[in-house]
Amino acid sequence: MVDARIKKEAEILVNHSINVKKGESIIVSGSTKAEPLMKEIYKLIIKKGAYPTLKVGLSGTEYIYYKYASNEQLKHFPQTSWDEVKRAQGYIGIQSSTNTREMSNVDPKKMALRQKVTRKIPDYIVNRKDKIRRCSTIFPTKALAQDAEMSYEEYENFVFGAVNQDWKKLGKRFRQLRDKLNKAKKIRIIGEDTDVELKVYKKSFVADCGEENLPGGEIFCAPEPKSVKGHIRFTYPAIRNGVEVQNIYAEFEKGKCVKAKADKNEKFLNTMLNIDKGARYIGELGIGMNPKVTKFTKNLLFDEKIGGTIHLAFGMAYKECGEPNKSALHWDIVKDLRKKGEILADDKTVQKNGKWKI
C-alpha cells in the first residue's frame, strides 16, 4: 500500500504544480530513495495521456564525477541532456539525498567550473516558462531528517504537512501581499547586525503558490542590481553542494558585495561569489510565509519559506522578475526577522518581528 500522503503530493505536483496535459513530455528526476513518489507521479502522467521520462540518480555518483573527472570532462557540455530538456514541456525535480555532506571535500573550483559549463540547462528549466514548466520538491530521507534534527517519523510529518496544503486558498493571501508590495519602489530590511536597502525592479514581486516549488510559500522580487546597499548578517548557515558556510556577513556598495565573511568555509563562499561578474550582485529578495514551516532544517526548499524570514540570493535574477542580473550562480541565504526584525516598504513598516502589518 502506498502512503496516502505520497499519493497526495503526487497529485498536487501533476495536477497543480505542473498541470500536465495530454500529449506533453514530462521529465521526472530523483534518486532511488524517491521511488515511491516517482512511481505515483509516473502513473498519474501516464493516466493523463502524457509521456513521462524518469531520470533516476544513483547515490555517490556526483562525488565520483568530481573526484575523477579531468579538466576536459568538466568542460564538456552534456548535449544529450540539453536536447532532452528542450523537447520537454514539464520538469519535476525531487530532492532525496542519502548523504547531504557528500561534496564537502570536493574542490569548489571544479564545481564552479562545471556550473559555468552547464549553466544554460538549469537556466532554461528555471526561466523559460513559455517553454517548460518546472517544480522542485522533496521526498523525506533519513539523511535529511538528521540534518533537521528530527526523527524520521517527525520529519515525514513535517515534510508532508508543509507540502500537502490547499495551495489555491494560500495563494489568495500570497497574491494579495504581492500586489501590495509591487506598489513599493524601495524595500529596507532591518535586524540584528543588519540594515540593507534596495530598489524593486519594475514591480517584479511574484507569489510562489506551490507551482514552482513544493512546498511553496514565499513572495519574491528582483532588486535593481546596483541599488543594493548596506550590510547583513545572515542568521542561518548556507549550504551548497554539501558545503556548510556559517555566520555569513556581507556588505554592499552600489549593488556589489564588497565584503563577504564567514566563520566556516569563507574560502568556499568567496569562490562561489567569484564565479562570474554577476555573482556578487543580488538577484532575488524573497519573503517566507509558509504557515507549516517554522523550524530551520538545513534544507533551503523549506528554510526559505519560514514565515518571518527573508532571503537574499546572490547571482541570477529570475526571468519572470525581469532578469536584471545574470549569473551562473543563484544562492539563497536566509535571515530570521522574528526577533527585532523589520521590513519597510517606501519607509513604511509592513512587517515587524515576523508579523505582517498590511
The helix/strand count (H/E) of the chain reads as 12, 19
Same domain, 152 and 216: no
Among 141, 163, 185, identify where a domain stops: 163
Q: What is the rounded (10 degree) CA torsion for 134, 136, 137, 139? A: 110
Residue 183 — very low, low, confident or very high, per pLDDT cuts 50/70/90? very high
Average pLDDT, the chain: 94
Same domain, 88 and 216: no
Q: What is the mean pLDDT of residues 103-120?
A: 88
Q: The CATH number of the domain where 108 resides is what?
A: 3.40.1830.10
Residue 171 — very low, low, confident or very high, per pLDDT cuts 50/70/90? very high
Give me the domain span that covers residue 63.
4-163
Q: For residue 276, give the DSSP letter.
A: S
Residue-wise pLDDT for 302-349, tens only, equals 999 999 999 999 999 998 899 899 998 999 999 999 999 999 999 999
pLDDT of 105 > 90? The answer is no
pLDDT of 102 > 90? The answer is no
Q: What is the DSSP string of 205-272?
A: -EEESSSSBSS--EEEE-B-GGG-EEEEE-SS-EEETTEEEBS-EEEEETTEEEEEE-SB-HHHHHHH
Gyration radius of the chain's alpha carbons: 20
Q: Rounded to an integer, what distance in angstroms lies between the CA atom of residue 52 and that of residue 137?
A: 17
Q: Closest Cα to residue 134, out of 83, 95, 91? A: 91
Same domain, 330 and 185: yes
Same domain, 56 and 88: yes
Same domain, 173 and 316: yes
Counted domains in the chain = 2
Same domain, 209 and 240: yes
Same domain, 143 and 197: no
Element (H, E) at 330: strand 330-336
Same domain, 9 and 157: yes
Same domain, 98 and 119: yes
Residue-wise pLDDT for 257-310, tens only, equals 999 999 999 999 999 999 999 999 999 999 999 999 999 999 999 999 999 999
The pLDDT > 70 percentage for the chain reads 100
What's residue 100's pLDDT?
83
* pTM score of the predicted model: 0.86
Among 114, 138, 163, identify where a domain stops: 163
Q: Rounded to an integer, what distance in angstroms lies between the CA atom of residue 333 and that of residue 321?
A: 19
The answer to whether residues 240 and 269 touch, using CB atoms and an 8 Å cutoff, is no
Same domain, 189 and 328: yes
**The 51-57 sheet, strands edge to edge:** 51-57, 25-31, 90-95, 133-138
Same domain, 229 and 126: no
Same domain, 196 and 256: yes
Neighbours of 85 (CB within 10 A): 20
Residue-wise pLDDT for 201-234, tens only, equals 988 899 999 999 999 999 999 999 999 999 999 9
Among 110, 132, 163, identify where a domain stops: 163
What's residue 127's pLDDT?
83
